Amino acid sequence: MLLKINKLVKIIIPEKIRICRTLLIGYGYDLKRYHKYSNSYKKMDSLHKYEALATYYYHVVEKGLTMPETRLGFGKENLFRLINLCVEYKVNGYDTNRRTFKHVIGVLKEYMAFHEERNHDLQEDLKSRILQVLQVEGDVSSTEQFNFTSSDFFKYKDANFTDFCLSRHTVRNYSTKDISNEVFDACTKLAQKSPSACNRQPNKIYIVKDVEKQKKILQLQNGNRGFGDLANALVVFTGSLACFRLQGERNEVYFNSGMFAMSFIYALHHYGIGSCSLNWSVGPRWDRNLRKLINLPEEETVTLILSCGYLPENVKIASSPRKDLNEVITYI
> Are the C-beta atoms of residues 78 and 65 closer than 8 Å to each other?
no
* Predicted pLDDT of residue 5: 57
* Predicted pLDDT of residue 139: 86
Tell me how far apart the alpha carbons of residues 86 and 256 are, in angstroms, rounded to a whole number: 37
Q: What's the rounded mean pLDDT across residues 13-26?
A: 84
* Predicted pLDDT of residue 57: 96
Reported confidence tier of residue 44, pLDDT bands at 50, 70, 90: confident
295 backbone φψ class: left, alpha, beta (φ>0; ψ -120 to 50): left
Is pLDDT at 1 greater than 80 in this prediction? no
Residues facing 306 on adjacent strands? 235, 277
Amino acid at 123: Q
Domain boundaries, the chain: 47-144, 149-316
Is pLDDT at 290 greater than 80 in this prediction? yes
Residues facing 309 on adjacent strands? 274
Tell me how far apart the alpha carbons of residues 34 and 29 are, in angstroms, rounded to a whole number: 9
Q: What's the rounded mean pLDDT across residues 37-56?
A: 91
Q: What's the rounded mean pLDDT across residues 101-117?
A: 96
H or E segment at 114? helix 99-117
Fold topology of 149-316: NADH Oxidase (3.40.109)
Tell me how far apart the alpha carbons of residues 171 and 211 are, in angstroms, rounded to a whole number: 20
> Are the C-beta atoms of residues 306 and 260 closer than 8 Å to each other?
no
Is pLDDT at 94 greater than 90 in this prediction? yes
| Angle, vertex CA 329, rays to CA 59 and CA 53, nearest 5 | 25
Q: What's the rounded mean pLDDT across residues 152-166?
A: 97
Model confidence, pTM: 0.92
* Predicted pLDDT of residue 241: 97
CA-based torsion, 283, 287, 288, 290: positive or negative: positive
Is pLDDT at 137 greater than 80 in this prediction? yes
Amino acid at 324: D
CA-based torsion, 83, 84, 85, 90: positive or negative: positive
Rg of the chain taking only CA atoms, in angstroms: 23
Is pLDDT at 127 greater than 60 in this prediction? yes
* Predicted pLDDT of residue 4: 57
* 202-206, 219-223, 273-277, 295-299: the lowest-pLDDT one: 219-223
* Predicted pLDDT of residue 43: 80
Side by side, the strands of the sheet bearing 274-279 are 203-208, 233-240, 300-309, 274-279
Half-sphere exposure of 68 (CA within 13 A, CB side): 16
H or E segment at 236? strand 233-240
> Are the C-beta atoms of residues 324 and 291 closer than 8 Å to each other?
no
Greater model confidence, 3 or 64? 64
